[in-house]
């Protein structure tokens, strides 16, 4: 399937990546080529095949629902670009 610039723009918005107009043009072509290439999977009949969900065949283990870690505010904030009073700071989201 061909991928047009409008589709690229919508996908980029979903992925929260800003694209310049010339990038959209280039990506429409590149993504179109890649999508066309992966569409060869349609040659294969997968009727009744279950999608793979786990790689190693093993039962998911359960653990006790207890606090195992905590009180690490300094560690959590340590790498933040901007913090104030023990919070992450972001641009204003409400007026």
Partner 1 sequence: MAELTDLTLADARDLLNQGEVSARELTDAHVAAVESARELNAFITETPDLAREMATASDERRAKGGARPLDGLPIAIKDLFSTREVLTTAASHILDGFTPPYESTVTRNLWDAGAVLLGKTNMDEFAMGSSNENTYYGSAKNPWAREGDNRPLVPGGSSGGSASAVAARAALAATGTDTGGSIRQPASFTGTVGMKPTYGRCSRLGIVAFASSLDQAGPMTRSVRDAALMLGAMAGHDPYDSTSVDAPVPDFEAALTGDIRGLKVGIPREYRVDGMPGEIERLWQQGMDWLRQAGAEPVEISLPRTRYALPAYYIIAPAEASANLARYDGVRYGHRAEDAKSLTEMYERTRAEGFGEEVKRRILIGTYVLSAGYYDAYYNKARKVRSLIAQDFREAYREVDVILAPTAPSPAFPVGDLVDDPIAMYLNDVFTVPASLAGLPGLNVPAGLSDDGLPLGLQLIGRAFDEETVLKAGQVLETAADFRHAPSFVAGS
Closest to partner 1 by CB, 25 vs 34, is 34
Closest to partner 1 by CB, 67 vs 93, is 93
Question: How far is it, in rounded angstroms, from Cα 37 to Cα 73?
Answer: 47
Interface with partner 1 (CB under 8 A): 3, 7-8, 11-19, 27, 30-31, 33-35, 37-44, 46, 49-58, 60-61, 63, 72, 75-76, 78-82, 88, 90-93
Closest to partner 1 by CB, 16 vs 85, is 16
- When computed from its CA atoms, the radius of gyration of the chain, rounded to whole angstroms, is 23
Least separation in angstroms between CB 26 and partner 1: 9
How do 83-84 and 87-88 pair as beta strands?
A: antiparallel
Question: How far is it, in rounded angstroms, from Cα 90 to Cα 2?
Answer: 38
Least separation in angstroms between CB 30 and partner 1: 6
Q: From residue 50, give the alpha-carbon distance in Å to each of 18, 46, 53, 54.
A: 37, 8, 9, 11
């Amino acid at each position: 399937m061909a991928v047009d610039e409008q589709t690229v723009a919508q996908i980029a918005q979903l992925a929260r990546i800003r694209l310049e107009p010339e990038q959209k043009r280039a990506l429409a072509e590149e993504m179109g080529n890649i999508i066309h290439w992966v569409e060869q999977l349609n040659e294969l009949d997968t009727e009744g095949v279950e999608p793979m969900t786990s790689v190693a065949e093993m039962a998911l283990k359960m653990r006790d629902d207890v606090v195992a870690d905590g009180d690490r505010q300094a560690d959590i904030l340590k790498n933040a670009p901007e913090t104030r009073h023990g919070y992450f700071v972001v641009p204003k989201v409400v007026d």
